[in-house]
Amino acid sequence: MPKRVTVFLNGQDVNGKAMLVPETLERLLAAALAKLIIPKPVTEAVDNDVPQTTTADKVAYRLFTAKGGEIDDLEVIRDDETLYLVAEGEPFIGRPRPTTTAAASKTPTCDIKTAKKLSRRKQRSAEKASGDGHYKSTYKVLEDDWIRLNIGGKVFTTTRGTIVAKEPDSMLARMFDRNHKTNEHQTLLVPGRQDETGAYLIDRSPDYFEPLLGYLRHGSLILDRHLNPAGVLEEAKFYGFYALLPELEATVLQEAMLGNSIERHVGVAPLTRREVVKALVGTPTETRLRFQGVNLAGADLSKLDLSNINFKYAILRGANLQGANLKDCCLERADLSRCTLEGATLINCHMVCANLEGSNLRGSNMESNSLNQITNLEGANLNNTNLEGSQMRRVNLRVASLKHANVQNCNLDCACLAGANLENCDLSGSDLNEANLRGANLKGTRFELIHTPLHMSYLAS
Query: How does pLDDT run along the chain (461 residues), one tens digit per residue?
Result: 778 888 888 888 788 888 888 888 888 888 888 887 554 444 444 444 444 444 444 567 888 888 888 888 888 888 888 888 888 878 888 666 555 444 444 444 445 556 655 666 666 665 555 554 444 444 344 445 888 999 999 999 999 888 888 888 888 888 887 665 555 545 567 777 888 888 999 999 999 999 999 999 988 888 888 888 889 999 999 998 888 888 888 777 656 654 543 443 334 578 889 888 888 887 777 777 888 888 899 999 999 999 999 999 999 999 999 999 999 999 999 999 999 999 999 999 999 999 999 999 999 999 987 778 899 999 999 999 999 999 999 999 999 999 999 999 999 989 999 999 999 999 999 998 889 999 999 999 998 877 666 654 455 44
CA distances from 269 to 23, 88, 272, 340, 404 (A): 48, 69, 9, 20, 33
Q: Sign of torsion, CA 195 198 199 200?
A: positive
240-275 residue pLDDT tens: 888 888 888 877 765 665 454 344 333 457 888 988
408-454 residue pLDDT tens: 999 998 999 999 999 999 999 999 888 999 999 999 999 887 766 66
Q: What DSSP character marks residue 148?
A: E
pLDDT at residue 38, rounded to an integer: 52
Is the entire prediction scored with pTM above 0.95? no
Residues 101, 105, 109, CA angle at the centre, nearest 5°? 105
Q: What DSSP character marks residue 243?
A: G
SS3 at position 19: strand
